[in-house]
Amino acid sequence: MLDLPFLPFCTLLGGLGLTCVAFTAAWCQHWRGGFSWDGSASTFNWHPVLMVAGLVVTYGAAALVYRLPPSWRGPKLPWKVLHGVLALVAFGLAVLGLVAVFHFHNTQGTPNMYSLHSWVGLVTVLLFSCQWVAGFGTFLLPWAPTWLRVLYKPLHVFFGSTILMLSVVSCVSGINEKLFFSL
């Protein structure tokens, strides 16, 4: 495996993440009719941008920021707080993305939750919210005993990776669904 230095690798991934958000926003702005919040198709365009920015890019950054290189020394609390804050920002963006798509569907009279993308995406957001609450309660609040932290840590890591993969699956299935309806 390549032994890339940590900071340049983070910079590269951050740049790729911003590029993904920029391309998604450009796609929605120039080829999908722009953005609005009036219930039209332009309202829907907030959904892919916010979901990519939240559950793929920001959540990916939250996962990455806590993977400190072993050579770094110092307290972990600032990194835990940053990890939690980035995850909370990702959750906020995802909720706004869900509000946009439900607002669009309800205004247009389109049924909600009619596709595999819808269900995978909703399960992803629900698992993500449970993961954030459990992680906050276990790792950031001082009341959790050490044995509980040790017991929960592998589950937190496993579900964190799983939720990130589900986010990407939701993204790809949403793009395929949009292309299917457009063609």
Tell the residue number behind the tokens 């939720």, with chain if given: 163
Give residue limits of the domains in the chain: 6-181
pLDDT for residue 70: 59
Output the tens digit of pLDDT for each of the chain's 183 residues.
455 677 788 888 889 999 999 999 999 999 999 999 998 889 999 999 999 999 999 999 999 887 766 566 778 888 888 999 999 999 999 999 999 999 999 999 999 999 999 999 999 999 999 999 999 999 988 889 999 999 999 999 999 999 999 999 999 999 999 888 887
Phi and psi based region of residue 141 (left: phi greater than 0; alpha: psi -120 to 50; beta: remaining): beta
Judged on CB neighbours under 10 Å (0-12, 13-18, 19+), 51 is: buried
Is the domain 6-181 a CATH 1.10.10.10 member?
A: no
The per-residue pLDDT for range 33-80, each reduced to its tens digit, is 999 999 888 999 999 999 999 999 999 999 988 776 656 677 888 888
